[in-house]
Amino acid sequence: MSTAILTGPPVPGSPLEGDLRSLGFDVQVAAEAGQVPAAVSAAPAGARVALVDPHFVGHRHSLRLALTDPRFAAGAVTGALSVQAQARGALTRALHEADSAAAGAAADVAARGPDDEGAVTAPPRTLPDAVADALEAGDLDVHRPELGPLVASVPVGEEARAAARASVDGVDDEAVRLRNAVKSRDGFFTTFCVSPYSRYIARWCARRGLTPNQVTTASLVTALIAAACAATGTRGGFVAAGVLLIASFVLDATDGQLARYDLQYSTLGAWLDATFDRAKEYAYYAGLALGATRGGDDVWALALGAMVLQTARHVVDFSFNEANHDAAANTSPTAALSTRLDSVGWTVWLRRMIVLPIGERWALIAVLTACTTPRITLVVLLVGCALAACYTTAGRVLRSLTRKAHRTDRAARALADLADSGPLAAGFAALARRAHVQLPGYGPVVAFLGTAALLATALWTPLGSVWPCVAALGYALTSGFAVAAPLRGALDWLAPPFFRTAEYVLVLVLAARAEQSGVNGALPAAFGLVAAVAYHHYDTVYRIRGGTGAPPHWLVRATGGHEGRTLVVALAAALWASGAGRGPDQGQGFTIALTTLAVVVAAVVLVESIRFWVSSKAPAVHDETGEPA
């Protein structure tokens, strides 16, 4: 259990002890500052410890924000400080360093004159404040939450204390807490059609002890039921699917709001929230394809195309953001124009809607599912996502070309990890470096040429010929040359999206052509393979975001890397994709090969991913940006 130590005798009538206990703290009292180190040492090992000045006056939510947020090793507001178990050693050292500061605090209080009695915003230097400063001086980041209208103060004198209490009474703590549960920047649909009531669902869940992970799981189950309804192929099933998809999205918004409302952040929760969003959407695409098949319409190619396009869009987002994660400067005129447009209210919402974020996208899918057919739903989704992809990619290319920024080694490493280069590409890259054949700044051009040659060969050479295999070998060669030099160029962030496009679209093209030639089940098997590989790529992104680096090298080697899997699919197509001249039970080798590869990749990646995230010490990185998902 967490321990809160009052750094002096309690103030009669103060609700402070009750507030701390309601936040889950065992309250201990150190009668004087000299007893605080001993009280800290006596606190349970492995638990959070807080130091709170007994004269603290403020909202309970101010204390909650500073003292209970699990994302930070230390947090503080005026008169209160909390550290997690991993920072206990730093706290002990800071207490020794703050001895003189504590003595100075008493002198500050004694020196305050009558003119200062009502100064709530200029508190004395308390022991928690002095320790927080000492922690920061020792290079430990101390989170200081943005309180807004909330109060956190250590007033001196009865008049100042009464004024502080009046300030506390003048602000509805619960209303602020509820308002802050909603992202400050989100999509139009989420902001105006979901958040006005989902925040109250989040509060209802918090008061009944539900966790964000439970709500996230409920959202996944609801979406899977929606996909099952769509798979029935009936009008009633499609209507139910649309309603349930919206319900799943409401729960998806609720889980994050519950985490912010109750500060129930966790590493596992961040991973579940991110991965389940993808699982829900792609399972729904599969449900639409199954439902259409029951009605005699084969839309598996459209469903796979929607998944490929959406995943490629995300890779563009991730790659661009990682390339500019810690850029030294941003002098792009395009970025300046974007900032100016943000100052005009209606353009903000228009631009957020154009990129078709998850709220708008799911609402579109739900309405079209209920009112039209799976084919129309997927075609409209493909057109909308394609336009959004063109808009966002063009803007990011312009920003990259016009900005003057130095990209760091960390950004180059992140892009190399996102590339997912396997043994073949790594070997060719090593040969290029040894031969001094490196093309700094031209990596995306080389990647694009390899991608274009590979896909053109898959599209226009005879199915079952050796040419796609030759193109896949050439693609492995160009992929190695593309990453031979550090990816620090202005447009080097485009290399990973080109690699994803090459691999995913190759699987789509060869499976679609195989289906046309009589190979049954090739497209559903291809859907499963792309889903398994896409999960691996999303998992890579979430690990990098969490500051833990990419998946281990053995995992990338075991799954072949993007160029290795591309070569395997091309070989399988050359051997088994052509169904011409075969009997009704023949020509299933390609489907079996794709299914086997999907199962192997999924098994290896999922086992390692679950092991990592369940045991991970990575920080709980939740999306608070409101960027489209």
AA letter at 529 = L
In a domain, 309, yes or no: no
The more confidently predicted of residues 114 and 578 is 578
pLDDT at res. 545: 83
What is the three-class DSSP state of 319?
helix
Of 10, 74, 14, 85, nearest to 43 (Cα)? 85
Q: Does 374 have pLDDT greater than 60?
A: yes
Q: CA 95 to CA 101: how far, in whole Å? A: 10
Do 278 and 392 lie in one domain? The reply is yes
| Contact by Cβ (8 Å): 27, 54 | no
pLDDT at res. 590: 95
| Contact by Cβ (8 Å): 440, 489 | yes
In a domain, 41, yes or no: yes
Q: Does 58 have pLDDT greater than 80?
A: yes
pLDDT at res. 494: 96
In the block, residue with structure tokens 């299933």? 588
Whole-angstrom distance between the N-terminal and C-terminal Cα of the chain?
A: 37
* Percent of the chain with pLDDT strictly greater than 70: 89
CA angle 627, 381, 212 (to 5 degrees): 45
Of 253, 204, 410, nearest to 327 (Cα)? 410
Q: Does 300 have pLDDT greater than 70?
A: yes
pTM above 0.85, yes or no: yes
Do 509 and 535 lie in one domain? The reply is yes
Do 349 and 431 lie in one domain? The reply is no
Q: CA 594 to CA 166: how far, in whole Å? A: 69
The more confidently predicted of residues 537 and 113 is 537
In a domain, 415, yes or no: yes
Do 371 and 445 lie in one domain? The reply is no
pLDDT at res. 144: 96
pLDDT at res. 441: 81
The CATH number given to whatever domain includes residue 333 is 1.20.120.1760
pLDDT at res. 366: 98
Residue ending a domain, among 404, 435, 455, is 404
Alpha helix positions (H), 324-465:
333-342, 345-354, 358-371, 374-402, 409-419, 423-434, 443-460
Q: Does 474 have pLDDT greater than 50?
A: yes
Q: Does 334 have pLDDT greater than 70?
A: no
pLDDT tens, residue by residue, 169-218: 999 999 999 999 998 888 899 999 999 999 999 999 999 999 999 999 99
| Contact by Cβ (8 Å): 570, 462 | no
Do 458 and 605 lie in one domain? The reply is yes
pLDDT at res. 260: 94
In a domain, 219, yes or no: yes
Q: CA 363 to CA 371: how far, in whole Å? A: 12
In a domain, 316, yes or no: no
Sequence-ordered list of residues with C-beta below 8 angstroms from that of 456, at least 6 positions apart, any chain: 471
Residue ending a domain, among 374, 404, 434, is 404
Residue ending a domain, among 377, 404, 431, is 404
Domain count, the chain: 3
Do 149 and 239 lie in one domain? The reply is no
pLDDT at res. 190: 93
The total of other beta-carbon atoms located within 10 Å of residue 122's CB is: 12
Residue ranges making up the domain that contains 578 = 406-628
Do 146 and 275 lie in one domain? The reply is no
Do 447 and 536 lie in one domain? The reply is yes
pLDDT tens, residue by residue, 237-285: 999 999 999 999 999 999 999 999 999 988 888 888 888 999 999 999 9
Q: CA 342 to CA 433: how far, in whole Å? A: 45
What is the three-class DSSP state of 74?
strand
* Percent of the chain with pLDDT strictly greater than 90: 75
Do 372 and 470 lie in one domain? The reply is no
In a domain, 115, yes or no: no
The CATH number given to whatever domain includes residue 414 is 1.20.120
Do 454 and 531 lie in one domain? The reply is yes
- The mean of the pLDDT values for the chain is 89
pLDDT grade for 403, boundaries at 50, 70 and 90: confident
What is the three-class DSSP state of 233?
coil
Q: CA 281 to CA 277: how far, in whole Å? A: 6
Do 356 and 460 lie in one domain? The reply is no
In a domain, 319, yes or no: no
Q: Kindly state the average pLDDT of the residues 303-330.
A: 87
Do 283 and 414 lie in one domain? The reply is no
pLDDT at res. 382: 98
In a domain, 317, yes or no: no
pLDDT grade for 549, boundaries at 50, 70 and 90: confident
